[in-house]
Amino acid sequence: MVKKFYLIVLLLGCIIMTASAQRKSAYQLYTSKGKKVTYGKMLKKLQKADVILFGEFHNNPICHWLQWELAADLSEEGSLTIGAEMVETNDQDAINQYLADELDEDGLDSVAKSLWSNHKTDYAPVLKLAKDRNLSFIASNVPRKYARLVFKEGFEGLDNLPEAEKKLMASLPIDFDPELPGYKNMLEMMAGHGGEHIAKAQALKDATMAERIANNLQAGVKFLHLNGTYHSENYEGILWYLQRARPDLKYATIATVTDSDLTLTEENQGLADFILVVDDEMTPTY
């Protein structure tokens, strides 16, 4: 009887070990210094920040899922405002109408002109969360036609725009530092191919998103902003403009990278306060 008991225990142990060996993880979180961290511990740190910049890969389902979870958890702990690169400033009225139940999802899709092709699958859930929990949602990105104008003509192309249009972007003139590593790398990569202006177009986006965040901050209300990881990694981009405008605030950043083993390589350490490593075979949303 005793032998039978131990045989059963041994078999159960083998089953558990086999199941464990076959279990695969889709992501792993790390601190800036490369130490593994749980979602719960990251959440506690983020709850101390005034502004959180979540840098994503636009077609990554793990990013979108974790953004929803983070927004849900932060809004449970207190007041929260959500902002997103994926909606342009000229669609703020349409967003407000949706939040106020004056437009349903199909109506929003018809009225708002800047929604991305993957809005319904990837960003609509977070927007609906904002609606369900009575949270503000800020359309933060500059309308793309102005970014294209800067790409063609530089910042000078914005000078003669009507004042009503200038209100849709960061206050002019745009502060621009071509020596920032992110912009500098862009200039080097695009040397001879409009590199200077493409970096300025990127800066226009970063500055506009930063100003929309700063203008919509409220005392005691956290701001969670969703943006492409390149807009905030290495503590540049949006964060560089925010820190110049509001150095008194506490900021936290999340960056996203991919790796087949879910390890954080040395070159990716320091990208952000927290780094989300996703399996590089994760099926993209588009």
For 199-205, what is the mean pLDDT? Answer: 97
Say how many domains are in the chain: 1
40 belongs to a structural domain: yes
Q: What is the pLDDT of residue 19?
A: 41
Judged on CB neighbours under 10 Å (0-12, 13-18, 19+), 42 is buried
For 190-219, what is the mean pLDDT? Answer: 89
252 belongs to a structural domain: yes
Q: What is the pLDDT of residue 196?
A: 75
Q: What is the pLDDT of residue 192?
A: 56
142 belongs to a structural domain: yes
Q: What is the pLDDT of residue 190?
A: 76
Q: What is the pLDDT of residue 6?
A: 39
112 belongs to a structural domain: yes
Give the domain extent around 131. Answer: 26-278
Q: Considering the chain, what is the average pLDDT of its residues?
A: 91
Is residue 10 over pLDDT 50?
no
User: What crossing angle do the helices spanning 61-77 and 124-132 adopt, rounded to 10°?
Assistant: 10
Q: What is the pLDDT of residue 2?
A: 43
Residue 215 identity (one-letter amino acid)? N
Residue 17 identity (one-letter amino acid)? M
102 belongs to a structural domain: yes
For 187-202, what is the mean pLDDT? Answer: 80
pLDDT over 90 percentage in the chain: 86
Is residue 7 over pLDDT 60?
no
pLDDT in tens, 212-250: 999 999 999 999 999 999 999 999 999 999 999 999 999
10 belongs to a structural domain: no
Q: Specify the CATH number for the domain of residue 219.
A: 3.40.50.11550
16 belongs to a structural domain: no
CA distance 88 to 139: 5
> Using 50, 70 and 90 to split pLDDT, how confident is the model at 195?
low
The number of CA neighbours under 13 Å toward the Cβ of 279 is: 10
Closest-CA residue to 74 (of 103, 98, 105, 39)? 39
Cβ-Cβ contacts under 8 Å for 209 (sequence gap 6 or more):
83, 85, 140, 141, 142, 225, 227, 231, 238, 241
Q: What are phi and psi of 6, to 5 degrees?
A: -70, -30
Is the model's pTM score more than 0.75? yes
> Using 50, 70 and 90 to split pLDDT, how confident is the model at 193?
low
The number of CA neighbours under 13 Å toward the Cβ of 222 is: 24
17 belongs to a structural domain: no
pLDDT in tens, 28-57: 999 999 999 999 999 999 999 999 999 999
Give strand ranges (E) for 195-248: 222-228
